[in-house]
Amino acid sequence: MTLHRLSRAALTIAAALSATVSLQPQGLDQVRAKYTKQEIYVPMRDGVRLFTSIYTPKDRSVPHAIMLSRTPYSVAPYGSDQYRTSVGPSPLFADEGYVFVYQDVRGRWMSEGKFEDMRPHRARKSGPADIDESTDTYDTIEWLLKHVPNHNGRVGMWGISYPGFYTAAGMIDSHPALKAASPQAPVSDWFAADDWHHNGAFLIAHAFGWFSGNGWPFTQPSPVRPGAPIDFGTNDGYQFYMDLGPLGNANARHFRSEMPFWNLMMEHDTKDAFWQARDINPHLRDVRAAVMTVGGWYDAENLYGALAVYRSTERQNPGTTNLLVMGPWVHGGWARGAGDTLGDVRFDSATAEWYRQHVELPFFNHYLEDKGPMPLPEATVFETGTNQWRQFAEWPPSGAASRALYMHADGRLSFDAPAGDPAPGFDEYTSDPRRPVPLTPGIHRGMEQRYMVDDQRHAARRPDVLVYQTDVLAEDITLAGPLRPRLSVSTTGTDQDFVVKLIDVYPGRYPDASGNLLNPLGHSQQLVRGEVIRGKFRNSLSTPEPFAPGKPTTVAFEISDLLHTFRRGHRIMVQIQSTWFPLIDINPGRFMNIFTATAADFQKTTQRVYHTKSLPSSITVGVLTAR
C-alpha cells in the first residue's frame, strides 16, 4: 500500500505549484476584462435546444480547453452583457485561459424540452428520440467543438450536488474529447442514502425545504423561478414539522399538489422500478475521461453519492484513471471559504483553500492543458481527529483490519464479544412519536449542516436513547472505511426506525481555540457518523417486511465511510435511538406506507437492543494499523 502523510506545516503535494498559482479572487470587473460572453441555443439530436452561456478568453494567443458545467439551478445572469462574478470551479481557473461553458439542462430555466428529475439513463438507444443526460452532454460537446473558436480539442466537466449528477451522467459513454470530469458531491441514488431517503427513511426537513424552493415546474423557458418559497413563519424547524403532522399535510397546506416530484415521491414508498431507474451507479460504464470524485466527510446531503460514484466508476471501468478526494467539508464546502472549522470542531488548516490550489487546479491543468505532472494518488483523504491529509493507493485502504465493536450490559462498548447469555440480556427504550429526539440541541430551521459534528449530550440524557461507550482509550485508534451496524433488536410495533451514531467523547479538560481548558468542549460528545434505517427495509429496499412484535430479529446496514482517529484519552461512544427529528420523518410504528399515514396511525413503541452471545449487537469497523 502506498501511503503518505501531509504535515500541517507543509500542506502541499507539489511545492513548486504554490509559487505559480494566483490566489487573487475574481470579481465582475475581472471577468469582464478577461472574457467575452455569448448566449447560444445548442440543438440536441431530437431538436430540443438548450440554453448555453459561453465565456471565451479575450486573449487568443494560445488555444485552451473548454470547461463545461450543466445545471438545473440556472446559468444566470441572463443577457449577453450580464456577466458572472466568477467563472470556473474556483477563482484560480480564470487566469488559466480556459473557455467556460454553462448550460441550463433540458426543461429548466431558459432551455427547451421537458425536465425530469434524475432523468433515467437509457442503456439502449434506437434513435434520436432516445435521449438522456449522457446524450445531451455528448451533443453539447460535439457542438462546442465545431463552433467555439480557439480551443485545444479537450473538454473538462465539473459540478457540485445536482450538477454533480449531470457530470457523472455526462461521463457515461464519454465523448472522445471529454478528457477530465469531476463529479463533486454528486446525487446518485435518491432512495439509498442521497438527499431524500436514507435506507428507506424519509429526510423530511431536507426534502420539504428543497422542494419548497426548487420543485415548482417550468411550463415554458423563463429566466424567472416559478412558484415562491414556503414561508415557514418560524425559525424553529422542530416545531414547524411537528405542527405539520403526517406527510399528507404538506400538499394540503403548502404544495397544493402542484409539486410534481413531491407527488411522485409520495406514490413510491419503496425502491421500485421508479427509483431503480434513477440510480445512476449501475450505468457508470464506458467512462474514458480521467475522473476525480470529490466529497465532504460532513456533507449532510450527498456524502453517500461521492463514495458511491467513486466505487461504481472504479468497479465498472478498469483501467480508467479514477481518483477520490474527501475532506472535512459540508456540502460544497471545498468550493468556498477556508474549510478550517465546522461548528465547534477545528481542522487546524485552510483545507478548502489547499484543495483548490493543490488538487483541483492541477488535476484539470494536467489532463486538459498538459501543465505539470499529476501528483495525486488514487485517494487523497483528510483524517479527522488528527487533522492531517493522507494519501492511499486505494480506498478503503488495504491496511484497515475489520473488527467489531460490541454492545454490552451497563452501557459498555468493547472489541470483546459477549461471552454468555445473562438475563435480561437487553436494554430497552420507549419511543413516543409526540416527543421525538431532536436532531440538534439548539433551534434550527431543519437540517443544519453542522449537525454532523454536533455535541450529542442532549440526546444521551434522554430515556429514549441508548448509550454505550468504551473505557478511556490508552492509545489512538484510527477507523477507515464504511461502518456496518448489525443489531439484534425487537419492537412492540410492526415497523420502526433504528438510528446508530458513532461519537467521539472528549476528555473533561479539552482546550478551546484560545487554549482554555474549562469550556463546553470538555466531555463533548462529537458526532462522527450517524445513519438511520427504516426497519421494514432491513432485508430489501424494494420488498419491505413487517416485524413480528416482540420477536428478536437482525437489522444490518451500512453507514458511509469515515477516516477518523479517536485520540488517546478520548472514548468511543455509540448511541441508538428510533427518532431523529426533523431530519427523519417519524415512523408511526406500524407496517404501512407512511406517506399515507394519518394522526391515528402513530403509536408509542418499545424497542429492545440485545447484547448476548446468542443475540449480539455490534458495529464492524475498519481499524487502520499501517502507518
Task: Name the residue ranges covered by the structural domains of the chain.
Answer: 3-188+280-392, 197-277, 400-624
pLDDT at residue 26, rounded to an integer: 75
pLDDT at residue 229, rounded to an integer: 86
Cα(153)–Cα(500) distance, rounded to whole angstroms? 49
The yes or no reply on domain 400-624 and CATH 3.40.50.720 is no
Contact 542, 200 (CB under 8 A): no
**Stated pTM of the model:** 0.95
pLDDT at residue 8, rounded to an integer: 33
Cα(235)–Cα(443) distance, rounded to whole angstroms? 7
User: Taking the CA of residue 86 as centre, how many other CA atoms within 13 Å lie in the half-sphere pointing to its CB?
Assistant: 11
CB atoms within 10 A of CB 508: 12
Q: Which amino acid is at 443?
A: I
The CATH-assigned architecture of domain 3-188+280-392 is: 3-Layer(aba) Sandwich (3.40)
Contact 151, 65 (CB under 8 A): yes
Cα(393)–Cα(4) distance, rounded to whole angstroms? 10
* The CA-based dihedral angle spanning residues 312, 318, 324, 330, taken in that order and rounded to the nearest 10 degrees: -20
The CATH topology of domain 197-277 is alpha-amino acid ester hydrolase ( Helical cap domain) (1.10.3020)
pLDDT along the chain (627 residues), means of 10: 36 30 64 97 98 97 97 98 96 94 98 98 96 98 98 98 98 98 98 97 97 95 93 95 97 94 97 98 98 98 98 97 98 97 96 97 97 91 98 96 97 97 96 98 93 98 98 98 98 98 97 91 97 98 98 98 98 98 98 98 98 98 86
**Cβ neighbours for 257, distance < 8 A, ≥ 6 positions apart:** 251, 263
